[in-house]
Homo-oligomer: A and B are copies of this chain.
Amino acid sequence: MTNFVFQNETKIIFGKGTEKDVGKELIAHSAKKVLFHYGGGSIKRTGLYDTVVKSLKDAGVEYVELGGVKPNPRLSLVHEGIKRCRDEGVDFILAVGGGSVIDSAKAIAAGVPYEGDVWDFYDNKGVIKDAMPLATILTLPAAGSETSPATVITNMHGGESGDEQIKRGTGSGLLRPRFSILNPELTFTLPKYQTAAGITDMMAHIMERYFTQERHVDLTDHLCEGAMKSIIKNAERVMEDPKDYDARAEIMWAGTIAHNDILGTGRSEDWGTHMIEHELSAIYDITHGAGLAIIFPAWIRYNFNEYPEKIMQFFHRIFDVEAEFDKPEYMLNEGIRRLKEFYKSIGMPTSLKDEGIEDDRFEEMAEKCVVFGPVGNFKKMHKEDVIEVYKLAKE
């Protein structure tokens, strides 16, 4: 086990009806004027918008609104949010939505007290030293952004030419939400595809931690396995009945635990797959979860020989592949078959072909993927490695 520091201060308020108290909770956190940040029309359709407005008004919290966050959230809206906060004297951000809205809120939180362009943080040109406080009401269990320090933003006018689409992440403990409200009922209306993409994302967050070269990580291995088994079991239930409260609750809480850092304590984490996927969703604008379902099986196949015992353990303990110690190839093939079967069972693609993506931009994506050096830790992946993973993901 490696040395580590662990601290996650986000207060979780979980359960039925909890969103109604957001105003009081903001007051308890000394918020005076809030940026109410959200995405499209779904929170208006479901009535969540009205609930939040009422709670803010009842508690006497002033607010200004900024909707319009898109999946793969855009830098342009972040810039608008920063300006709005400065102009209006906002002192707290409330993100109501999924990972995209929360990531956008984090970018605004980091940008407001910063003199330069907030993109500097994503472009490895600056370090976050201050941030406005933020909180969330989560509507899509997936990204784990509700307690994580991370944020991923897409710049539609990146690169030297100024017309490249570039998706990058950054992070800071200062960006962890002060509190996050999680009501599983708010996820009843999620479309099946988004539910499934979210499930794939949270599974991937655990897998990025599970696949480590660190040898003595018994406890966190077991905790990861417990969380993954629970996600797979309850995934089936929520796909069957989107209003199954208990299954929705298991999935929602698992999405947070998958990414609150505790499952990664004492081990190096990988994150190569996420980096490889980011280039896909940046260029083709596919859902992050769908991209992960395409890339992960290919990544596992490409890296099997780096530490076959770990990958066999994964397939045995999570997907019940019989432990055949002298037939690693069987375990790999059968395991990948079952992993893809799981993805397909919830409606995810498992190949680039499924999304109609051709192989004409592998070189370009791999180039961008390693722009700051090789990605991942299970194996350090250079440009050639990344291209091979894209190739293995073709079909």
Q: Is B216 a contact partner of A250 (Cβ separation < 8 A)?
A: yes
> How long is the Cα–Cα vector from A7 to B179 in the complex, in angstroms?
9
B residues within 8 A CB of A257? 219, 223, 262
A353 lies within 8 A of chain B by Cβ:
no
A253 lies within 8 A of chain B by Cβ:
yes
A361 lies within 8 A of chain B by Cβ:
no
A: interface residue count bin: 35 or more
Please choose the segment from A10-18, A106-114, A189-197 that sits at the chain B interface, where 4 or more of its residues have CB less than 8 A away.
A10-18
B residues within 8 A CB of A14? 3-6, 265-266
B residues within 8 A CB of A51? none
Q: Is A253 a contact partner of B265 (Cβ separation < 8 A)?
A: yes
Q: Which of B224, B249, B266 is in CB contact (< 8 Å) with A1?
A: B249
B residues within 8 A CB of A1? 15, 184, 245-246, 249-250, 253
A382 lies within 8 A of chain B by Cβ:
no
Q: Is A229 a contact partner of B222 (Cβ separation < 8 A)?
A: yes
Q: Which of A261-277 contact B (CB under 8 A)?
A: 262, 265-266
Given known A7-B10, A9-B9, A14-B265, contact A219–B250 (CB-CB < 8 A): yes
B residues within 8 A CB of A221? 230
A11, A215, A221, A249: most-surrounded residue (chain B CB, <10 A): A249
With both chains docked as a complex, state the minimum distance between the C-beta of A241 and any C-beta of chain B, in angstroms: 13
With both chains docked as a complex, state the minimum distance between the C-beta of A314 and any C-beta of chain B, in angstroms: 14
A56 lies within 8 A of chain B by Cβ:
no
Q: Is A5 a contact partner of B16 (Cβ separation < 8 A)?
A: no
Q: Which of B9, B216, B253 is in CB contact (< 8 Å) with A219?
A: B253
Q: Is B266 a contact partner of A253 (Cβ separation < 8 A)?
A: yes
Q: Which of B216, B219, B249 is in CB contact (< 8 Å) with A254?
A: B219
Q: Is B230 a contact partner of A219 (Cβ separation < 8 A)?
A: yes
With both chains docked as a complex, state the minimum distance between the C-beta of A235 and any C-beta of chain B, in angstroms: 11
Contact mask for chain A residues 44-57; partner B; CB cutoff 8 A; 1 contact, 0 none: 00000000000000
A346 lies within 8 A of chain B by Cβ:
no
> How long is the Cα–Cα vector from A9 to B233 in the complex, in angstroms?
31
**Sample of 4 more A-B contacts, CB < 8 Å, known A4-B15, A5-B13, A218-B230:** A1-B15, A1-B253, A4-B12, A216-B250
**A-to-B contact residues, CB < 8 Å:** 1-18, 184, 215-216, 218-219, 221-227, 229-230, 233-234, 245-246, 249-250, 253-254, 257, 262, 265-266
